[in-house]
Amino acid sequence: MPARTDEQLLQDYQDGDAAAFRALIERHQEDLLRFLARLTGDRQAAEDVFQETFLQVHISADTFDATRKFKPWLFTIAANKARDMLRKRVRRQEVDLSAPLSRDPEGGQTFIDLMEVSVPLPDEAMQGQERDQLVQKAVDRMPQSLKEILLLAYFQRLSYAQIAEELDIPLGTVKSRLHAAVAAFAKHWQNVSSGMNTR
């Protein structure tokens, strides 16, 4: 028997199958936590937002449009929850060395083990972990709006149309922001990796 789709699982949950909700959580746990850790720069915050996201899915299950895909809806809820958390963090003026908008390249611990990107290396002998730390530094230096669209497009592989629909922005804005995000990443990558060549 073929596995149930996300949409079928959500419908089954609405019909009283509690195990279907658990199956949705388990199916998306790894990808969603990776996404949130990249977006927030903080594993604990990612776990908190993950829980809030699925609480919102539970609350809003009856309003889900069955003609749409579940995954973009889920990731949009998660991105919104992460944005809310980051705004609250700024309002409280918390001094957090792992805050994602830190401009200090040495500032705070990042969770680069969750990053899965392939980038050209300035030094072929560079260790994978060292490269990943540089990638995270480059991502962390990007503005939040560009970081979010880069993660949705390249890490979660959402289409332009899905991103436009879920973020409620025009398709042209998605394309221009993504172009700007790639350019910003390339610039920050060059800056953080250039130090490797001067060792």
Task: Kindly report the backbone phi and psi dihedral angles of residue 193, in degrees, each rounded to the nearest multiple of 5, phi listed first.
Answer: -85, -20
Distance from C-alpha of 173 to C-alpha of 168, rounded to nearest angstrom: 10
Closest CA to 190 of 129, 96, 119, 126: 119
Give percent of the chain above pLDDT 90.
23
The model's confidence at residue 70, banded by pLDDT at 50, 70 and 90, is very high
**What pTM did the predictor assign?**
0.60
The neighbour count for residue 17, using CB atoms within 10 Å, is: 14
What is the C-alpha to C-alpha distance for residues 10 and 189, in angstroms, rounded to an integer?
A: 40
Cα distance between residue 172 and residue 164, in whole Å: 9
Per-residue confidence band for 110, with pLDDT thresholds at 50, 70 and 90: very low
pLDDT at position 121 is 40
| Top-confidence range, 7-16, 60-69, 160-169 | 7-16
Structural domains of the chain, ranges and CATH numbers in brackets: 6-197 (1.10.1740.10)
Mean pLDDT of the chain: 76
Residue 104 pLDDT grade (very low, low, confident, very high; cuts 50, 70, 90):
very low
User: In this structure, which amino acid lies at residue 86?
Assistant: L
Higher pLDDT, 28 or 96: 28
Is 83's pLDDT higher than 80?
Answer: yes
pLDDT at position 118 over 50: no
Instruction: Write out the chain in H/E/C secondary structure.
Output: CCCCCHHHHHHHHHCCCHHHHHHHHHHHHHHHHHHHHHHHCCHHHHHHHHHHHHHHHHHHHHHCCCCCCHHHHHHHHHHHHHHHHHHHHHHCCCCCCCCCCCCCCCCCCCCHHHCCCCCCCCCCCCCHHHHHHHHHHHHHCCCHHHHHHHHHHHHCCCCHHHHHHHHCCCHHHHHHHHHHHHHHHHHHHHHHHHHHHCC
The residues near 180 (Cβ < 8 Å, ≥ 6 apart) are: 146
CA distances from 74 to 12, 55, 180 (A): 17, 11, 25
